[in-house]
Amino acid sequence: MAEKANGHAPDWQAIRREFPTLERFSYLDIGKKAILPRAVEHAMQEWLADVYEQAGANAFSMERTEDTRRTVAEVFGMPAACTALIKNTSEGMNIVAQGFPWRDGDNVVLSEFEHENHTFPWRHLARRGVQVRIARGDPHAPMTVDRYRPLVDARTRILAVSWVAYGNGARADIPAFAALCRERGIKLVVDGIQAVGVLADRIEDLGADVVVAGGHKAQFSLAGAGFMYTAPDLIDAITPPYAAKFSFTSNDRTAAAPELAHDAHRFEYGNPNFLGIWVQRRAAQYVQRIGLRHIEDRVRELTTRLIEGAEQRQIRVRTPRPWAQRAGHVSFDLGVPAPAPVAFLRERGVVVSEKDGHLRASAHFYNDASDIDRLLELLPAAVAHA
Protein backbone atom coordinates (compact mmCIF):
# COMPACT_ATOMS: atom_id res chain seq x y z
CA MET A 1 0.00 0.00 0.00
CA ALA A 2 1.25 3.44 -0.89
CA GLU A 3 2.29 5.85 1.83
CA LYS A 4 -0.62 8.05 2.84
CA ALA A 5 -0.42 11.82 2.53
CA ASN A 6 0.87 13.64 5.60
CA GLY A 7 -0.21 17.03 6.85
CA HIS A 8 2.40 18.94 4.86
CA ALA A 9 1.49 20.61 1.59
CA PRO A 10 2.84 18.71 -1.41
CA ASP A 11 5.63 20.08 -3.57
CA TRP A 12 3.35 21.08 -6.43
CA GLN A 13 6.17 22.00 -8.80
CA ALA A 14 7.80 18.60 -8.28
CA ILE A 15 4.44 16.95 -8.92
CA ARG A 16 3.97 19.07 -12.03
CA ARG A 17 7.20 17.65 -13.44
CA GLU A 18 5.65 14.17 -13.27
CA PHE A 19 3.28 15.16 -16.12
CA PRO A 20 5.28 15.37 -19.39
CA THR A 21 2.31 16.85 -21.27
CA LEU A 22 2.75 20.06 -19.29
CA GLU A 23 6.11 20.66 -20.96
CA ARG A 24 4.15 21.47 -24.13
CA PHE A 25 0.67 22.53 -23.06
CA SER A 26 -1.22 24.42 -20.42
CA TYR A 27 -3.67 21.58 -20.01
CA LEU A 28 -6.97 22.74 -18.49
CA ASP A 29 -9.20 19.93 -19.70
CA ILE A 30 -9.22 17.11 -17.15
CA GLY A 31 -13.00 17.31 -17.31
CA LYS A 32 -12.67 15.65 -20.70
CA LYS A 33 -9.67 13.34 -20.26
CA ALA A 34 -6.80 13.17 -17.82
CA ILE A 35 -3.24 13.66 -18.87
CA LEU A 36 -1.27 10.95 -17.10
CA PRO A 37 1.67 11.08 -14.68
CA ARG A 38 4.82 9.04 -14.97
CA ALA A 39 3.35 6.79 -12.26
CA VAL A 40 0.90 5.44 -14.84
CA GLU A 41 3.67 4.81 -17.36
CA HIS A 42 5.59 2.92 -14.67
CA ALA A 43 2.50 0.90 -13.78
CA MET A 44 2.02 -0.12 -17.41
CA GLN A 45 5.67 -1.11 -17.66
CA GLU A 46 5.36 -3.06 -14.40
CA TRP A 47 2.34 -4.96 -15.72
CA LEU A 48 4.01 -5.74 -19.04
CA ALA A 49 7.22 -6.84 -17.32
CA ASP A 50 5.21 -9.39 -15.36
CA VAL A 51 3.76 -10.74 -18.62
CA TYR A 52 7.26 -10.99 -20.14
CA GLU A 53 9.11 -12.30 -17.11
CA GLN A 54 6.49 -14.21 -15.07
CA ALA A 55 4.05 -15.28 -17.79
CA GLY A 56 1.46 -12.97 -16.26
CA ALA A 57 1.44 -14.57 -12.80
CA ASN A 58 0.39 -11.21 -11.32
CA ALA A 59 -0.67 -9.36 -14.46
CA PHE A 60 -3.57 -11.80 -14.97
CA SER A 61 -4.22 -12.50 -11.30
CA MET A 62 -7.68 -12.15 -9.80
CA GLU A 63 -5.94 -11.62 -6.46
CA ARG A 64 -4.39 -8.43 -7.83
CA THR A 65 -7.85 -7.43 -9.06
CA GLU A 66 -9.10 -7.78 -5.50
CA ASP A 67 -6.13 -5.66 -4.36
CA THR A 68 -7.37 -2.95 -6.71
CA ARG A 69 -10.90 -3.19 -5.35
CA ARG A 70 -9.63 -2.74 -1.79
CA THR A 71 -7.32 0.12 -2.71
CA VAL A 72 -9.92 2.07 -4.71
CA ALA A 73 -12.45 1.56 -1.93
CA GLU A 74 -10.02 2.80 0.72
CA VAL A 75 -8.85 5.85 -1.21
CA PHE A 76 -12.32 7.09 -2.20
CA GLY A 77 -14.13 6.04 0.97
CA MET A 78 -16.46 3.08 0.52
CA PRO A 79 -16.62 -0.59 1.55
CA ALA A 80 -14.78 -2.94 -0.80
CA ALA A 81 -17.79 -5.28 -0.81
CA CYS A 82 -19.88 -2.42 -2.27
CA THR A 83 -17.31 -1.53 -4.95
CA ALA A 84 -17.64 -2.99 -8.44
CA LEU A 85 -14.79 -2.54 -10.91
CA ILE A 86 -16.56 -1.62 -14.13
CA LYS A 87 -15.60 0.00 -17.42
CA ASN A 88 -17.10 3.46 -17.19
CA THR A 89 -19.95 5.65 -16.04
CA SER A 90 -22.18 4.56 -18.91
CA GLU A 91 -21.86 0.91 -17.95
CA GLY A 92 -22.71 1.60 -14.32
CA MET A 93 -25.77 3.66 -15.18
CA ASN A 94 -27.00 0.95 -17.52
CA ILE A 95 -26.48 -1.76 -14.91
CA VAL A 96 -28.76 0.16 -12.55
CA ALA A 97 -31.27 1.27 -15.18
CA GLN A 98 -31.69 -2.21 -16.65
CA GLY A 99 -31.42 -4.16 -13.41
CA PHE A 100 -33.65 -2.08 -11.13
CA PRO A 101 -37.02 -3.69 -10.24
CA TRP A 102 -39.23 -1.31 -12.19
CA ARG A 103 -43.00 -1.56 -12.44
CA ASP A 104 -45.09 -0.18 -15.27
CA GLY A 105 -45.94 3.43 -14.49
CA ASP A 106 -42.82 4.15 -12.42
CA ASN A 107 -40.77 7.26 -13.10
CA VAL A 108 -37.22 8.54 -12.73
CA VAL A 109 -36.34 12.22 -12.27
CA LEU A 110 -33.21 13.87 -13.64
CA SER A 111 -32.23 17.34 -14.77
CA GLU A 112 -31.82 19.02 -18.12
CA PHE A 113 -28.13 19.51 -17.34
CA GLU A 114 -27.10 15.85 -17.21
CA HIS A 115 -24.46 14.47 -19.56
CA GLU A 116 -25.88 12.34 -22.37
CA ASN A 117 -24.40 9.22 -20.76
CA HIS A 118 -26.46 10.01 -17.67
CA THR A 119 -29.54 10.66 -19.76
CA PHE A 120 -29.91 7.96 -22.41
CA PRO A 121 -29.80 4.97 -20.01
CA TRP A 122 -32.93 6.34 -18.31
CA ARG A 123 -34.68 7.44 -21.51
CA HIS A 124 -34.17 3.94 -22.88
CA LEU A 125 -36.54 2.70 -20.17
CA ALA A 126 -39.57 4.17 -21.93
CA ARG A 127 -39.99 0.83 -23.73
CA ARG A 128 -40.55 -0.73 -20.29
CA GLY A 129 -43.19 1.78 -19.28
CA VAL A 130 -40.90 3.95 -17.15
CA GLN A 131 -41.45 7.69 -17.47
CA VAL A 132 -38.50 10.11 -17.43
CA ARG A 133 -39.20 13.49 -15.83
CA ILE A 134 -36.84 16.39 -16.46
CA ALA A 135 -36.19 19.04 -13.82
CA ARG A 136 -35.44 22.50 -15.21
CA GLY A 137 -33.07 24.96 -13.61
CA ASP A 138 -30.81 27.97 -13.84
CA PRO A 139 -27.82 27.31 -16.13
CA HIS A 140 -25.69 29.52 -13.85
CA ALA A 141 -26.53 27.76 -10.59
CA PRO A 142 -26.53 24.30 -9.03
CA MET A 143 -29.59 22.10 -9.28
CA THR A 144 -31.23 22.05 -5.86
CA VAL A 145 -33.71 19.60 -4.36
CA ASP A 146 -36.42 22.22 -4.78
CA ARG A 147 -36.10 21.89 -8.55
CA TYR A 148 -36.81 18.16 -8.27
CA ARG A 149 -39.38 18.09 -5.50
CA PRO A 150 -42.41 19.13 -7.63
CA LEU A 151 -41.74 16.24 -10.03
CA VAL A 152 -41.56 13.58 -7.34
CA ASP A 153 -44.65 11.50 -6.58
CA ALA A 154 -45.58 8.07 -5.25
CA ARG A 155 -44.31 6.37 -8.44
CA THR A 156 -40.88 8.01 -8.43
CA ARG A 157 -38.29 5.28 -7.84
CA ILE A 158 -34.98 6.96 -8.70
CA LEU A 159 -33.49 10.47 -8.70
CA ALA A 160 -30.45 10.71 -10.98
CA VAL A 161 -28.05 13.56 -10.20
CA SER A 162 -24.56 14.63 -11.22
CA TRP A 163 -22.33 15.44 -8.27
CA VAL A 164 -20.62 18.05 -10.45
CA ALA A 165 -22.28 19.14 -13.69
CA TYR A 166 -20.13 18.58 -16.76
CA GLY A 167 -21.29 21.82 -18.39
CA ASN A 168 -21.48 24.77 -16.02
CA GLY A 169 -19.41 23.04 -13.32
CA ALA A 170 -22.04 23.48 -10.59
CA ARG A 171 -21.79 21.09 -7.62
CA ALA A 172 -24.95 19.48 -6.27
CA ASP A 173 -25.56 19.15 -2.55
CA ILE A 174 -25.66 15.36 -2.57
CA PRO A 175 -26.48 14.94 1.15
CA ALA A 176 -29.51 17.20 0.65
CA PHE A 177 -30.67 15.05 -2.28
CA ALA A 178 -30.07 11.96 -0.16
CA ALA A 179 -32.26 13.37 2.60
CA LEU A 180 -35.11 14.01 0.14
CA CYS A 181 -34.78 10.50 -1.22
CA ARG A 182 -34.84 8.91 2.23
CA GLU A 183 -37.90 10.99 3.10
CA ARG A 184 -39.75 9.76 0.01
CA GLY A 185 -38.41 6.19 -0.25
CA ILE A 186 -36.52 6.93 -3.48
CA LYS A 187 -33.09 5.70 -4.57
CA LEU A 188 -30.42 8.29 -5.36
CA VAL A 189 -28.09 7.53 -8.27
CA VAL A 190 -25.10 9.85 -8.67
CA ASP A 191 -22.84 10.43 -11.65
CA GLY A 192 -19.60 11.13 -9.82
CA ILE A 193 -17.06 11.26 -12.62
CA GLN A 194 -16.43 15.02 -12.46
CA ALA A 195 -16.00 14.95 -8.66
CA VAL A 196 -14.17 11.75 -7.74
CA GLY A 197 -10.48 12.53 -7.36
CA VAL A 198 -11.19 16.26 -7.06
CA LEU A 199 -13.32 16.49 -3.92
CA ALA A 200 -12.28 14.93 -0.63
CA ASP A 201 -15.73 13.72 0.49
CA ARG A 202 -15.94 10.00 1.24
CA ILE A 203 -18.32 8.24 -1.14
CA GLU A 204 -20.00 6.29 1.64
CA ASP A 205 -20.72 9.49 3.59
CA LEU A 206 -22.68 11.15 0.79
CA GLY A 207 -25.83 9.16 1.53
CA ALA A 208 -26.25 8.13 -2.12
CA ASP A 209 -27.47 4.66 -3.07
CA VAL A 210 -25.26 4.45 -6.16
CA VAL A 211 -22.21 6.46 -7.20
CA VAL A 212 -20.61 5.70 -10.56
CA ALA A 213 -17.36 7.12 -11.92
CA GLY A 214 -15.31 6.19 -14.93
CA GLY A 215 -11.60 6.26 -14.19
CA HIS A 216 -10.17 8.27 -17.06
CA LYS A 217 -10.45 11.69 -15.44
CA ALA A 218 -9.23 12.67 -11.96
CA GLN A 219 -8.69 9.05 -10.93
CA PHE A 220 -5.83 8.89 -13.49
CA SER A 221 -6.87 5.42 -14.53
CA LEU A 222 -7.18 4.32 -18.15
CA ALA A 223 -10.40 4.48 -20.14
CA GLY A 224 -12.22 1.24 -19.38
CA ALA A 225 -11.38 1.08 -15.67
CA GLY A 226 -13.80 2.79 -13.29
CA PHE A 227 -15.98 1.87 -10.32
CA MET A 228 -19.56 1.67 -9.12
CA TYR A 229 -20.47 2.00 -5.45
CA THR A 230 -23.79 0.43 -4.50
CA ALA A 231 -25.22 0.74 -0.98
CA PRO A 232 -25.45 -2.61 0.80
CA ASP A 233 -29.24 -2.65 0.98
CA LEU A 234 -29.60 -2.11 -2.77
CA ILE A 235 -27.16 -4.69 -4.15
CA ASP A 236 -29.53 -7.66 -4.02
CA ALA A 237 -32.37 -5.61 -5.54
CA ILE A 238 -30.48 -5.02 -8.80
CA THR A 239 -30.42 -7.91 -11.23
CA PRO A 240 -27.38 -7.47 -13.48
CA PRO A 241 -28.24 -7.38 -17.18
CA TYR A 242 -25.32 -9.73 -17.89
CA ALA A 243 -23.85 -12.58 -15.91
CA ALA A 244 -20.71 -14.70 -16.01
CA LYS A 245 -18.68 -16.73 -13.55
CA PHE A 246 -17.57 -13.78 -11.42
CA SER A 247 -21.18 -12.66 -10.97
CA PHE A 248 -22.07 -15.68 -8.83
CA THR A 249 -21.28 -17.07 -5.41
CA SER A 250 -19.72 -20.15 -6.99
CA ASN A 251 -17.94 -20.93 -10.26
CA ASP A 252 -19.47 -24.43 -10.35
CA ARG A 253 -21.07 -24.49 -13.79
CA THR A 254 -22.97 -27.68 -12.94
CA ALA A 255 -24.92 -26.07 -10.09
CA ALA A 256 -28.65 -26.46 -10.65
CA ALA A 257 -29.50 -22.92 -9.53
CA PRO A 258 -26.51 -20.55 -9.64
CA GLU A 259 -26.81 -17.83 -7.01
CA LEU A 260 -25.83 -14.27 -7.81
CA ALA A 261 -23.19 -12.79 -5.52
CA HIS A 262 -24.56 -10.71 -2.66
CA ASP A 263 -21.83 -8.08 -3.00
CA ALA A 264 -20.62 -5.90 -5.85
CA HIS A 265 -19.11 -8.90 -7.67
CA ARG A 266 -22.57 -9.53 -9.11
CA PHE A 267 -22.04 -6.53 -11.42
CA GLU A 268 -18.82 -7.91 -12.94
CA TYR A 269 -18.42 -10.61 -15.54
CA GLY A 270 -15.82 -12.31 -17.70
CA ASN A 271 -12.14 -11.45 -17.79
CA PRO A 272 -11.61 -8.00 -16.31
CA ASN A 273 -9.58 -5.25 -17.92
CA PHE A 274 -6.38 -6.56 -16.33
CA LEU A 275 -4.09 -3.77 -17.52
CA GLY A 276 -6.63 -1.06 -16.74
CA ILE A 277 -7.30 -2.46 -13.28
CA TRP A 278 -3.57 -2.72 -12.55
CA VAL A 279 -3.14 0.94 -13.51
CA GLN A 280 -6.28 1.83 -11.56
CA ARG A 281 -4.69 0.49 -8.39
CA ARG A 282 -1.40 2.31 -8.90
CA ALA A 283 -3.24 5.50 -9.87
CA ALA A 284 -5.37 5.35 -6.71
CA GLN A 285 -2.20 4.92 -4.66
CA TYR A 286 -0.74 7.95 -6.44
CA VAL A 287 -3.80 10.02 -5.50
CA GLN A 288 -3.55 8.71 -1.95
CA ARG A 289 0.08 9.80 -1.63
CA ILE A 290 -0.85 13.35 -2.58
CA GLY A 291 -4.00 13.32 -0.47
CA LEU A 292 -7.55 14.18 -1.51
CA ARG A 293 -7.73 17.07 0.93
CA HIS A 294 -4.58 18.59 -0.55
CA ILE A 295 -5.98 18.03 -4.03
CA GLU A 296 -9.28 19.72 -3.27
CA ASP A 297 -7.56 22.70 -1.66
CA ARG A 298 -5.25 23.08 -4.67
CA VAL A 299 -8.13 22.94 -7.16
CA ARG A 300 -10.06 25.48 -5.12
CA GLU A 301 -7.07 27.86 -5.15
CA LEU A 302 -6.50 27.59 -8.90
CA THR A 303 -10.15 27.87 -9.94
CA THR A 304 -10.65 30.85 -7.63
CA ARG A 305 -7.72 32.55 -9.34
CA LEU A 306 -9.32 31.83 -12.70
CA ILE A 307 -12.75 33.14 -11.71
CA GLU A 308 -11.35 36.30 -10.14
CA GLY A 309 -9.08 36.94 -13.12
CA ALA A 310 -11.98 36.53 -15.54
CA GLU A 311 -14.18 38.90 -13.55
CA GLN A 312 -11.41 41.51 -13.56
CA ARG A 313 -11.42 41.28 -17.36
CA GLN A 314 -15.23 41.50 -17.56
CA ILE A 315 -15.46 37.94 -18.87
CA ARG A 316 -18.74 36.39 -17.78
CA VAL A 317 -18.40 33.28 -15.62
CA ARG A 318 -21.28 30.78 -15.69
CA THR A 319 -20.02 28.70 -12.77
CA PRO A 320 -21.24 29.53 -9.25
CA ARG A 321 -18.72 31.46 -7.17
CA PRO A 322 -19.00 29.75 -3.71
CA TRP A 323 -16.70 26.75 -3.41
CA ALA A 324 -19.46 24.57 -1.94
CA GLN A 325 -21.32 25.02 -5.25
CA ARG A 326 -18.49 24.17 -7.65
CA ALA A 327 -15.38 22.04 -8.10
CA GLY A 328 -12.79 21.90 -10.87
CA HIS A 329 -14.67 23.34 -13.87
CA VAL A 330 -15.06 27.01 -14.76
CA SER A 331 -17.46 27.75 -17.61
CA PHE A 332 -17.47 31.04 -19.52
CA ASP A 333 -20.09 32.85 -21.57
CA LEU A 334 -17.86 34.52 -24.15
CA GLY A 335 -20.69 36.08 -26.12
CA VAL A 336 -19.59 34.08 -29.16
CA PRO A 337 -19.77 30.35 -29.99
CA ALA A 338 -16.96 28.56 -28.20
CA PRO A 339 -15.50 26.22 -30.88
CA ALA A 340 -13.42 28.93 -32.58
CA PRO A 341 -11.90 30.28 -29.32
CA VAL A 342 -11.17 26.73 -28.16
CA ALA A 343 -9.33 26.00 -31.40
CA PHE A 344 -7.49 29.35 -31.21
CA LEU A 345 -6.29 28.55 -27.69
CA ARG A 346 -5.16 25.03 -28.58
CA GLU A 347 -3.06 26.37 -31.44
CA ARG A 348 -1.26 28.42 -28.79
CA GLY A 349 -0.79 25.54 -26.38
CA VAL A 350 -3.77 26.06 -24.06
CA VAL A 351 -6.16 23.10 -24.00
CA VAL A 352 -9.76 23.68 -22.90
CA SER A 353 -13.16 22.35 -24.03
CA GLU A 354 -16.36 23.48 -25.64
CA LYS A 355 -19.43 22.24 -23.78
CA ASP A 356 -22.97 23.16 -24.79
CA GLY A 357 -21.64 26.12 -26.77
CA HIS A 358 -19.56 27.51 -23.91
CA LEU A 359 -15.86 27.39 -23.11
CA ARG A 360 -14.99 25.21 -20.12
CA ALA A 361 -11.63 25.20 -18.36
CA SER A 362 -10.94 22.36 -15.90
CA ALA A 363 -8.01 22.87 -13.54
CA HIS A 364 -6.34 20.17 -11.48
CA PHE A 365 -3.53 19.92 -8.96
CA TYR A 366 -0.80 19.66 -11.59
CA ASN A 367 -1.69 23.09 -12.96
CA ASP A 368 -0.14 26.27 -11.61
CA ALA A 369 -0.68 30.02 -11.78
CA SER A 370 1.14 30.22 -15.11
CA ASP A 371 -1.50 27.99 -16.75
CA ILE A 372 -4.33 30.09 -15.37
CA ASP A 373 -2.71 33.39 -16.33
CA ARG A 374 -1.86 32.18 -19.81
CA LEU A 375 -5.51 31.31 -20.46
CA LEU A 376 -6.68 34.66 -19.10
CA GLU A 377 -4.18 36.59 -21.21
CA LEU A 378 -5.23 34.80 -24.40
CA LEU A 379 -9.00 34.81 -23.89
CA PRO A 380 -9.66 38.34 -25.25
CA ALA A 381 -7.76 37.54 -28.44
CA ALA A 382 -9.53 34.17 -28.71
CA VAL A 383 -12.90 35.92 -28.53
CA ALA A 384 -11.85 38.57 -31.03
CA HIS A 385 -10.70 35.83 -33.40
CA ALA A 386 -14.11 34.09 -33.35
Q: Where are the domains of the chain?
A: 12-30+291-385, 44-288
CATH: 3.90.1150.10, 3.30.479.10, 3.40.50.300, 1.20.58.1610. Which one for 12-30+291-385? 3.90.1150.10
pLDDT, position 2: 34
What is the distance between the alpha carbons of residues 68 and 278, in angstroms, rounded to a whole number?
Answer: 7
Concatenated DSSP letters of 172-221: P-HHHHHHHHHHHT-EEEEE-TTTBTTB---GGGG--SEEEE-SSSTT--
Q: How confident is the model at residue 245 (pLDDT cuts 50, 70, 90)?
A: confident
What is the distance between the alpha carbons of residues 303 and 309, in angstroms, rounded to a whole number?
Answer: 10
Indicate whether 175 pLDDT > 60. Answer: yes
Residues whose CB falls within 8 Å of the CB of residue 183, separated by 6 or more in sequence, listed in order: none
Residues whose CB falls within 8 Å of the CB of residue 310, separated by 6 or more in sequence, listed in order: 316, 317, 330, 332, 376, 379
> What's the whole-number mean pLDDT along residues 143-150?
94
Element (H, E) at 302: helix 292-312
Greatest pairwise CA separation for the chain in angstroms = 70
Indicate whether 25 pLDDT > 80. Answer: yes
pLDDT, position 8: 82
Average pLDDT taken over every residue of the chain: 95
Q: Write down the CATH number for the domain with range 44-288.
A: 3.40.640.10
Element (H, E) at 86: strand 83-86
Output the pTM of the full model: 0.95
Q: Is the dihedral of CA 363, 369, 371, 373 positive or negative?
A: positive
pLDDT, position 312: 96
What is the distance between the alpha carbons of residues 210 and 207, in angstroms, rounded to a whole number?
Answer: 9
Picking from 187, 190, 180, the residue whose alpha carbon sits closest to that of residue 235 is: 187
Indicate whether 82 pLDDT > 70. Answer: yes
pLDDT, position 7: 67
What is the distance between the alpha carbons of residues 280 and 219, in angstroms, rounded to a whole number?
Answer: 8
Q: How confident is the model at residue 184 (pLDDT cuts 50, 70, 90)?
A: very high
